[in-house]
Amino acid sequence: MDTEYFQHKGINFASVIYSKERLEYLENEFQVLDDDVYIVTFPKSGTNWMMEILSLIHSNGDISWCHKVPNYIRIPWLDVCGPGVKLVDEYQSPRLFSSHLPIQFFPKSFFSSKAKIQMSVKYFTYKGVNFSPGSYSQESLNIAENEFQVQDNDVYIVTYPKSGTNWMIEILSLLRTYGNPTWCNSVPIWLRSPWFESVEGQSQMIDITPPRVFTSHLPFPIFAKSFFTSKAKIIYVMRNPKDILVSLFHFSKMVCHYKDPGSFEEFFEDFLQGNVLYSSWFDHVKGWMQMKTNKNFFYITYEELHQDLRGSVVKICDFLGKELHEAQTDLVVNNSSFKTMKENKMSNYSLLPQDRIDQTKGSFMRKGITGDWKNHFTVAQNEYFDTVYQEKMKDLNMKFFWEDS
């Protein structure tokens, strides 16, 4: 018999083991205890393996519990119907639970508790590109590519991760208010410019009024099709891929929907091979550079922003047709500095709960410098990177700002 699915807030669930009533109860009424531990996974990511590990930790390594009691009774499924519901409701503290729930459906009481989540992250692919189930779904990506309606006065900030995305959001936020920082100081950065391809972003963008500014990490081949018949504009921000690699390595340790990067040597190779979230930097840049002569496309580098922020702001204003007085331009520059953003809780992501970003493992805004790769690469790694870079970028026929440094 074919399994029937139903949708709950845009996500598919199997009706044989889930119900809307149970999902609503868990999200809004279930009471998380401070000593709870939750194993959260996308299916086939190592759930049962983690259940076995935590069972053995719970029993101080005594395997008799694992041999006598099925794992779904030792660590009940929080979200499924059937016998598991009674187990969940009657489980004695300290409690261990498993779940496949996306973050937006997870019990709200968790976020005001001291309970912990042990996540096992496995990326999925959409048309050959790696995405995290913690932020995206096949449906959200299909909506972004094929159904999302771009408006002529939209502006899209497009980047590969760790290229200066949030810096550009802050700049455009300040341009909108002519340098007045009130909006930036009172509204979280992810609400000012939602990610139009993410599950959460698609719920947030309902409240965005024109002219809209959206953010995206999407590669060129799967960007919103409606953009290419519109008058909307894209600002594409690039950065020295060596610095991206280093920044992404540290970032992956603290952001929960990223895979653990392993050692720097392992991550170094994964990055060059495109075995990371959003896949290949080389493909991302080469794809978007097909637009470089389009009048609605503007590209700039992190290094240019860093070297001459004021000059960069002026160029961005010219592209957007935004007129600012000298004093207003000064306000934009001063209020979008790394120091100002790092101290602004609406821009530094410190408001996000620990299950999204573990700030004990580092700061979201780490250094904000150029050339940090020199503190991490060995001579051999640098030479190897240059060889791969030259091979992959040889047909682009472009010279980038960082190639002179």
The segment with the largest mean pLDDT, out of 18-22, 226-230, 253-257, 401-405, is 226-230
What's the chain's average pLDDT? 86
List the catalytic residue out of 100, 217, 250, 257: 217
57 or 120, which is more confident: 57
Same domain, 85 and 182: no
Indicate the number of domains in the chain.
Answer: 2
Same domain, 212 and 286: yes
* Mean of pLDDT values over 39-66: 81
Same domain, 243 and 261: yes
* Mean of pLDDT values over 208-235: 96
Q: 153 lies in which domain range?
A: 124-404
- Taking only the tens place, the pLDDT of each residue in 329-372 is 999 999 988 788 777 777 766 655 555 655 555 554 555 667 88
* Mean of pLDDT values over 287-298: 96
Same domain, 149 and 25: no
Question: Which helix (H) or strand (E) segment is 399 a member of?
Answer: none
pLDDT of residue 349: 61
pLDDT band of residue 102 (cuts 50, 70, 90) is: confident
CA distances for 192 relative to 170, 176, 281, angstroms: 9, 11, 26
* Mean of pLDDT values over 141-163: 96
What is the DSSP code string of 334-355?
HHTSHHHHHH-TTTSSTTS-TT
pLDDT of residue 120: 60
1 or 232, which is more confident: 232
- Residue 7 pLDDT > 80, yes or no? yes
Buried b (16+ CB within 10 A) or exposed e, 16-37: eebbeebbeebbeebebeeebb
- Of 74-88, 245-259, 378-392, the range with the lowest mean pLDDT is 74-88
CATH of residue 171's domain is 3.40.50.300
pLDDT band of residue 82 (cuts 50, 70, 90) is: low
Same domain, 87 and 188: no
Same domain, 289 and 398: yes
Residue 67 annotated as catalytic: no
